[in-house]
Amino acid sequence: MENLLRGPIQHFYFSVFFWWASLVFFEFLIFACASYLLGGKALKALKTGFKYEGERIIYSVMLGYGIFGLFGTLLAIFGMFNALYLRLFLAAVFLVSIKDVLYGAKFFVNWFWQSGVFDSLKSVFWERAFLKTLLFIWIFANFLIAFHPVTGNDARVYHLPIMRDIMERGKFTFSETIDQFYAYVPVLAETTYAVPTAIFGNKSDPYVFQLVQYSALPLLLGLFYFLLKNLVSDKLLLFGALFFTLGNFDLGREVLHAGYIDVLTFLFCIASSLLIIQAFDGANPSKKFLLSSVMLGLGLGMKYTAVFFGAINVLFLFIYFWNKRARFYDLSGILLRYGLVLLLISGFWYGKNLFVYGNPVYPMFSSESLAEGIAWFVADRNLLNFFLFPFIRFGQWFVDDTQTSSQLFIFGLYALMYVGLLLLLWRREKIGITATLLFLFVQIYTSILFFVSHQNRFLLPASAMLAPLAAILIDKSRLMLYKISRPALVFLCLILFLGNFHYFGVKFLYLTGVYDRGQYILEIGGQ
């Protein structure tokens, strides 16, 4: 205990780590600002409008990440991926955005001197101060953990080696040390991570790409926040939805371990589906559809699992035009434009495989060993298990001591979803288009994974979408004498916070220098 108390102060490594981490954070800020400026200009060109400025900022950053990744992809295709071209591109972004940079600097200075930091924080935290403080601590703790070594198994085996190989070779022809399976799959995520890493010459952990990956968490929370802002009458439920998202331990683990591309992939894909959902009640839906296709195209360039979102998004488009009683001509035109954008952004990966191997998603459906590795089923695929699948999968917590307690929490969210919907139907109350589409998303995605794989990692999009859906259903149905249960909701948020916080213990010891890199990796293990 004495060492634990003295270590953070006396351990010399901590001071070295602090200044190195500060430098990496500064590099990330430069890249994030450039992404925001680049994405903002792209949004302006797409003429996509948003009701809230915060929502525009989120999509600007995401779109900027994607454009940087696509530029890196283009360079790698022609064997020209190197720091010089990337730095010139970064400089060009700031140069053409100089007016925006100066305006932003002026705005920040005026805000700092006129409003003051304390007054601004006071206005933000004035309402729901307890929950907002817990959210801030939770998000900040996740931010600190982003500086830790990459320990995820898949990250160390191929994601990180692919990123390094792109940087060293300047192209996508990977060395013999990398399993050639990964020469066939989309690697836009690894390329996107390689861009800031190469720009800043960051060749040891903490990597700057880890912060890019971490940013997927607050960006996802922001998407849910603005989705629910006008949909729930009680703002307690809005913040509850954010806690429900953070309480999904498997989602957090994908971010915290760093190196996994699933989080970035799912961020873009979830955004693509949410944009279509928002188009139902929003103005200028065609622009939302266009941006949705861009987001999905970026996701398809990162991982094959994005194909599932494509199927769901097409269904949503059919529902939209059926609901609007539009002509088939209008639907076919939108679908054609949607598909052309997908082809433009991600077509290289799938076209290459189709031309060479006759299978756009090669080696999927072409390798039995691969299929076995991905599948990992916990229940037989029969009719009864199909209907019970969410409870069978997340009920594993009761019979498997290796499962995290968040499995029980997701189990409860699925139960809440079905109970809430049945209650609304019994009362003959209007469910609403957003809740209906979110339910369809969760149900369809879960059903697809029932036949494909039962791995928690692949089920993350469905379990993540349960959070905003639960908030809407509770708000509409007033489940469990809602006025009485409101304190219980606050208590649940506190339990979720404390229940997940134990994960930070070992990471804190590394952060403060009590554990060195070897001790940390030995203690945390892989994934």
- If we measure between CA atoms, which residue out of 255, 262, 515, 249 comes closest to residue 402? 249
- Tokens standing for 319? 């529902």
The answer to whether 159 and 191 are in contact (CB under 8 A) is no
Q: Tell me how far apart the alpha carbons of residues 105 and 169 are, in angstroms, rounded to a whole number.
A: 38
The number of C-alpha atoms within 13 Å of 210 and in the hemisphere containing its C-beta is 26
Q: Which residue in the block uniquely carries the two structure tokens 């700057």?
A: 208
Q: How far apart are CA 214 and CA 222, in angstroms?
A: 13
The whole-number pLDDT of residue 10 equals: 47
For CA atoms 520, 211, 67, 310, the dihedral sign is positive
What's the pLDDT score for residue 258?
A: 59
pLDDT for position 486: 66
Where are the chain's structural domains? 128-150+209-260+484-527, 367-479
Compute how many other C-beta atoms are within 10 angstroms of the C-beta atom of residue 227: 21
Q: CA neighbours within 13 Å on the CB side: how many for 324?
A: 16
Instruction: Give pLDDT, residue 286.
Output: 87
Nearest-CA neighbor of 28 among 152, 149, 143? 143
Low-confidence ranges of the chain (pLDDT < 70): 1-17, 107-126, 176-177, 179-182, 252-258, 326, 328-329, 365-375, 401-404, 478-486, 499-503, 521, 523-527
Q: What is the pLDDT of residue 92?
A: 95
Task: Find where tokens 């836009």 sit.
Answer: 188
* Residues near 353 by beta carbon (within 8 Å), at least 6 away in sequence: 184, 359, 360, 361, 362
pTM to 2 decimal places: 0.90
3-class DSSP state of 286: helix
SS (H, E, C) 123-135: HHHCCCHHHHHHH
Question: What is the separation of C-alpha 223 from the centre of its chain, rounded to a whole number of angstroms?
Answer: 10
Residues in CB range of 76: below 8 A, 6 or more apart: 166, 170, 171, 172, 191
- Give the model confidence (pLDDT) of 389-409 as tens digits: 888 888 877 777 666 677 888
Q: What is the DSSP string of 82-126?
A: -HHHHHHHHHHHHHHTHHHHHHHHHHHHHHHHHT-HHHHHHHHHS
What pLDDT, on a 0 to 100 scale, did the predictor assign at position 107?
67
Distances (CA, A) of 352 to 255, 346, 358, 361, 479: 30, 11, 9, 10, 52
